[in-house]
A and B are shown apart, each in its own frame.
Chain A
Amino acid sequence: MSDATTEPIVGWRLWHVRRHEDAYRLESFTWHHVSWPARRRFEARCSTHGGAAPVQGHECGIYAFTTRQLAEDLLRRYTGVRQHYGRRNNELPPLRLGCPIALGRVSLWGRVVARENGFRAQYAYPYELFLIGGDDDLARELRCLYAVDVSAG
């Protein structure tokens, strides 16, 4: 028995921002070279379950956290710095030059499997992006491509 709702779930996640031939695109944070399409939903695929992802008891689906804090914690672990970087505990670590990352909210819908700290979803699309290590020009480019709010940090 599953719950049902008509409102998309909004979670938090990270993306790499990489150039693909003619334009920058959002890329999965954990799966290299899996880019998120612009102006259409990103659909979960599983090597075992195909388009049935996410499946309960498995690890497939499009991931997002319940809070911004959890996504920022992942970023701190990714950059290899201690949990409380900088003078203030909420300061984010520096990134390698030319390797921008997007932190943002993401809409999730279809079949969604919820756990205590996040979600695995069937469909997703970015809702709002905050660039880390990117400038205003890159923010403008992503804003035009994905048609969502993007701000440079």
Chain B
Amino acid sequence: MDIGAPETEREIEVTPQEEPVPTPAPAENPAEDPVPA
């Protein structure tokens, strides 16, 4: 992949507060106990 001339290089330190990687959504608790009383 030709991204340009090496002479144009500059370094950037990227430190996100949260990594941009999706995490699984937490399982929702049912509003009511599905087991009949």
Contacts and interface: CB of A to CB of B under 8 A. Distances in A.
Contacts of B23: 39, 147
B13 A3 contact: yes
Interface string B5-37: 110111111111101111110000000000000
Interface residues of B, number: 22
Contact of B10 (A8, A9, A113, A125): A113
B11 A111 contact: yes
Nearest to B20: A107
Interface of A: 2-9, 13, 29-30, 39-41, 56-57, 63-65, 74, 107-121, 123, 125, 127, 146-148
Interface of B: 1-6, 8-17, 19-24
Closest 10 CB pairs of A and B: A118-B3, A147-B22, A115-B4, A116-B4, A2-B11, A107-B20, A117-B4, A109-B14, A63-B1, A116-B8
